[in-house]
Amino acid sequence: MRQVIIHPERCVGCMQCMVACAVAHSKSKTLFGALQEKPLPRPRIHVGVGLYREGFPNRCRHCDPAPCIMACLPGAIYRNEEMDTVLINPDRCINCASCAMACPFGVIRYHEDSLGPEGKVVAVKCDNCVDRQAKGLVPACVEVCMTNALTFEEPDTSLKRKTDEIARRISVGAEERKAETAPGFSLLNTLKKAQTEMADYMV
By CB under 8 A, which span of 107-115, 127-135, 154-162, 163-171 interacts with another protein?
107-115
Q: Which member of 2, 3, 42, 56 binds another protein (CB under 8 A)?
A: 56
Q: Which of residues 128-157 bind another protein (CB under 8 A)?
A: 146-148
C-alpha span between 49 and 139 (Å, rounded) = 23
| Nearer residue to another protein within complex by CB, 131 or 174 | 174
Shortest distance in whole angstroms from residue 16 CB to another protein: 9
Q: Is 57 exposed, middle or buried (0-12, 13-18, 19+ CB in 10 A)?
A: buried
| Nearer residue to another protein within complex by CB, 30 or 186 | 186
Prior bond to 39 cis, omega within 30?
yes
Can residue 170 be called a binding residue for another protein (CB under 8 A)? no
Can residue 124 be called a binding residue for another protein (CB under 8 A)? no
C-alpha span between 2 and 35 (Å, rounded) = 31
CA distances from residue 114 to 5, 19, 22, 26, 123 in whole angstroms, order as listed: 26, 15, 10, 6, 12
Shortest distance in whole angstroms from residue 89 CB to another protein: 12
Q: Which member of 19, 52, 137, 158 binds another protein (CB under 8 A)?
A: 52
Evaluate whether 11 touches 55 at the Cβ level (below 8 Å): yes
Can residue 78 be called a binding residue for another protein (CB under 8 A)? no
Shortest distance in whole angstroms from residue 74 CB to another protein: 6
Q: Which member of 30, 80, 163, 195 binds another protein (CB under 8 A)?
A: 195
Q: Give the type of residue at 199.
A: A
Instruction: Give 78's DSSP letter.
Output: E
Q: Give the type of residue at 134.
A: A
By CB under 8 A, which span of 10-18, 28-36, 129-137, 167-175 interacts with another protein?
10-18
C-alpha span between 170 and 83 (Å, rounded) = 37
DSSP string, 11-64: -----HHHHHHHHHTSSS-SHHHHHH-SSPP--SSEEEE-TTS-EEEE-----S
Shortest distance in whole angstroms from residue 47 CB to another protein: 7
Can residue 183 be called a binding residue for another protein (CB under 8 A)? yes
- Judged by the rule CB under 8 A, the positions of this chain that interact with another protein are 8-15, 46-56, 58, 67, 70-71, 73-75, 92, 94-110, 146-148, 181-195, 198-203
